[in-house]
A and B are shown apart, each in its own frame.
Chain A
Amino acid sequence: MATIGCKDFPNYLERWMEGDRHPDALAHVRDCPRCRSLVEDLKMIQAAAQDWGRAESEPPAHLWNSLRAQLAQEGLIHQQSKRRGWFPGWFPALPRPALAGAYLAAVIAVAFGLSGPVNQRINRARWLEGTQSSTTPLRAQFASAEMNATPPSVPDSNPTVTASLHNNLAIVDNYIALCEKSVSEEPENELARDYLFDAYHQKADLLAQLSERGGYGR
């Protein structure tokens, strides 16, 4: 029987990702599908981040700083002055500016994944506030990513593919709008929040692909 709940699990999460599995956390993950799913998602992101990092270097330090500050501000992690945790271990590995979307995906995964269980017992207004505080900076980062991207220097060799990416981006944008509406109507609805998270994740992925192709703004 688990002795900790979803609310406490984030306190164990950083060590968990470093391989230090506390028995209480182990028991909780065994019993709680949501936290188990969160751990699986984080592991996937960790693995993907390490893969991306094999070829190049130079992480966007500001991204880690803002993410960590945001999580600390929300009380989801504690600031630790000199200890090097698992997040920095990922982000030095994250390389290509072209994969800005992928960085965002990691941010989103953590912000959404952690905010769910922690906020479960809070009232509706707090749910909404929690969701907005998670999504507002993300929206800003998406907008920035789209605005800062440079147009292609060479003609697009496969406009059909670029058009397909843009069409799907429009689908995802619509999907985000509908999910946001749903979340604002029912902020405590976890399924709606999951869909919103998925939509942001997909948008990040598409932006990364468009960025690699130099296909923004068309």
Chain B
Amino acid sequence: MSTTHFVSGTWNWKAVGLLATGLLLCVAPASAHRLEKHFTVEPRAVITIHNPNGKIIVKAWTKHEVMVIANHVSDKVEVDAEQTGNRVDLRTQQLADSVAPDDLRADYDVSVPEDAELQIHDDSGEVSVANGLGDMNVETVSAGVALEDAAGYLTIKTVGGSFQCVRCAGRLEVSSISGSFRLLDLRSYHVRAQTSTGNILFDGEFLPNGIYRLKNYSGVIEVRFSPGDSFDLNATSLKGPVNNEAKLTPPAHPQHFSSKFGYALGTFNAGRAKVELTSFDGTINIRKRN
């Protein structure tokens, strides 16, 4: 590795000092504009973030305070952070008519109370949220969205951005056109996921009385189940195959399907959750979890 080589080489401390200074000078413009602000808020505060391009990282903490650290390089944009009542609005403002895409970039690192409601809009870049218990609405165009340990009513909408949710709970509604979804270790009682050309992977619990609707146009929908799970399954692919490893009890009133359909229909164990998987010409896999 270059670091090891550097340390064990013939460089002396003076050279190291000069190089470090040089590096600092190079790095300095990358954080040329740094904003740090703190806002004290009441329970269930609302935080809005509107950013055309860049990384947004939100973490929940136990304080009743919102801490914002925003960095941007260009002076053609600025970051506004304002509090109105129990709402904190963060916005990247364009200051010139003509701004190059890189100049639009702003990165946010935001800490919020656990019960805060989040409304995030980020066209490109990425969005990452961890540990939030409040409701959340995220909209992006190409930015990917990653949630971890989130709860509440989660509404995610992307055009082409991917979505990953790890250990999420509550109610999840996610839609995209070409983005793929990975829903891992979920404990949600209501999941509605729809993408056109993306893949959907669901590897989570089917809670009693839960409803799980996964739909795509093409691509692969894969659902993993454990022997102890309990669900009613209705999986249909209009023009694609359905590969099912779950031993299902057929419904009491068989339904008619066109022969073109790939489908799997029936009850697994007591059928406590409802699972609907639908694809137009994609593949649906219902796999036993290893």
Contacts and interface: CB of A to CB of B under 8 A. Distances in A.
A182 interface: yes
A202 interface: yes
B160 A164 contact: yes
Contacts of A202: 177, 196
Interface string A174-200: 010011001000100101100100110
A161 B196 contact: no
Contacts of A178: 280-281
Q: Secondary structure of the B side of the interface?
A: loop
Nearest to B257: A191
Given A168-B160, A195-B217, A161 B123 contact: yes
A160 B101 contact: yes
Interface residues of A, number: 27
Interface string B253-290: 00000100000000000000000001011000000000
A19 interface: no
A23 interface: no
Contact of A155 (B98, B104, B178, B258): B98
Q: Secondary structure of the A side of the interface?
A: helix
Given A154-B97, A172-B196, A160 B238 contact: no
Contact of A157 (B94, B142, B258): B94
Contacts of A172: 177, 196
A12 B196 CA distance: 33
Given A164-B141, A202-B177, A157 B104 contact: yes
Given A158-B104, A186-B258, A198-B196, 15 more contacts: A155-B97, A157-B100, A160-B124, A160-B142, A165-B141, A167-B178, A168-B159, A168-B160, A171-B178, A182-B238, A189-B258, A195-B217, A199-B217, A202-B177, A206-B159
Interface of B: 52-53, 94, 97-101, 104, 123-124, 141-142, 159-160, 177-178, 194, 196-197, 217, 236, 238-239, 258, 278, 280-281
